[in-house]
Amino acid sequence: MQIVLATHNAHKVDELRRILEPQLPGIEVLAYDGPEPIEDGATFTENALIKARAAATHTGLPAIADDSGICVDVLGGSPGIFSARWAGPARDSEQNLRLLLWQISDIADDHRGAHFTCVAALALPDGAERAVSAEWPGQLLHEPNGTNGFGYDPIFLPDGYAISAAELSAHVKNQVSHRAMAFEALIPVVREILGG
């Protein structure tokens, strides 16, 4: 049995393979290089389902997608679904991170709460679909630290840790992150529907 990973983000592909493959031994996880749909949903769930549906329709295979981002309390939940293009359509991670740091530069430590959100979605070519969501709480640092991970990891201090998400090993991040938790919840659904 095969399943398509409906993302064009190489970092997500890497994390998702590490999360999924040990738990879905009978299922071959394929990368997706088909057309990217317009992510014009108003929520993480809508966007995750848009991506999963597009890949399932294009490939004729079951597809799973991730829509994720960082939500900052003092910014009312932004960047949220706009995390990948916060500083503009170039989707430059470094510029996104710098803009966010600048926007909260005068905010004190006790008001720098934030969380990552991930919605994991499964869509089948026959139209069946499911989506589950998870959050990873923490706070934003004042300067980037660490080189692991991607995106906003260098400025995210997860609750319960004294180091940034970019200083965690891939092994640890993939056990505790928003992505790990959302896909942990989706895996039984995948197993139930596809067997594996």
Question: What are the catalytic residues?
Answer: 67
Peptide bond into 188 cis (omega under 30): no
Query: Is 17 annotated as belonging to a binding site?
Result: no
CA–CA distance, 59 with 68 (Å, rounded to integer) = 23
- What value, to the nearest 5°, has the Cα angle with vertex 168 and ends 94 and 135? 80
Here's the x/- map for ligand ITT, 98-137, by CB under 6 A: it reads as ------------------x---------------------
Can residue 37 be called a binding residue for ligand ITT (CB under 6 A)? no
12 binds ligand ITT (CB under 6 A): yes
* 63, 56 Cβ separation under 8 angstroms: yes
Three-state SS annotation for 83-110: HHHCCCCCCCHHHHHHHHHHHCCCCCHH
Task: Establish if 33 lies at the interface with ligand ITT (CB under 6 A).
Answer: no
Kindly identify the residues of this chain, within the stretch 60-99, that bind ligand ITT according to CB under 6 A. Answer: 66-70, 83-84, 93, 96
Binding residues for Mg(2+): 67
Residues near ligand ITT (CB under 6 A) are 7-9, 12, 39, 51, 66-70, 83-84, 93, 96, 116, 149-153, 177, 179
